[in-house]
Amino acid sequence: MAPSWFELLAWVALGLGFASALVIVADIVVLGNRQHMAIMDLAFPLTALYMGPIALWAYFARGRRMSRKRMHMHPSGMHDGEPRDSLWQVSLSDSHCGAGCVLGDIAGEWIVWATAWMIGSTAELGPEYILDLPLAWIFGILFQYFVIAPLRGQVGQLAPLGDAINSDTLSVLSFEVGLFGWMALAQYVIWKAPIDSSSHWFLMQIGMMLGFVTSWPVNRWLLRHGIKEPMPTF
């Protein structure tokens, strides 16, 4: 069980994540800065849930400029010639892959908790791994589909789905390597935190940040070799 000081730290970190996500949501929904690529309306706040102020800074430094409103105001500022493996392109690719993983991992964790699912007589990480990974993969593929399909004008068609699977499977797996590796370390070396505790979700935040790091070079390689689609930037 985590000590009380860690629980307090966890609440602060979770609060920063939620506050950062809410600021981005408010800017997108209330102030009308909806993204040129609609899937990023979800990806930016979901990234902020675990990246907190880092994601908030990235959004206002660069992401906000990718809104439909701002691109229409300054169409000549679009960077169609930006390298596909630039820092920003790779980070964008990593963010929508990571956002899918975040949704899958959150859903999987709470399903395991709500059903009290165990393997044998133990409630260790096994059930979470078994459920989180396929859910993260499904959400990750959907996020990638809604990057590819609008760029090709094929929303609602099945053709981009195969490319989404080909381009994002490695990305999702590399993200989950960082997350699962950290959660195993936390569970067996640091301390065990129940799913319904702030400590568990703070540890998940850290794991997701590590997942972003472990999937970053994979996303760079996928973009560089034309396997993933770069996004219109500003």
pLDDT digits (tens, 9 = 90+) for 180-232: 899 888 888 887 778 788 898 999 999 999 999 999 999 999 999 888 878 87
Report pTM: 0.86
Question: Which residues does 220 contact at the CB level (< 8 Å), separation at least 6?
Answer: 85, 90
Identify the residue whose tokens are 């760029």. 151
pLDDT digits (tens, 9 = 90+) for 101-131: 888 888 878 777 777 655 444 445 566 677 7
pLDDT digits (tens, 9 = 90+) for 15-70: 999 999 999 999 999 998 999 888 899 999 999 999 999 999 999 999 898 888 77
Percent of the residues in the chain that have a pLDDT greater than 90, as a whole number:
37
CA–CA separation, 43 vs 99, rounded Å? 5
Q: What is the dihedral of CA 15, 19, 22, 28, to 10 degrees?
A: -150
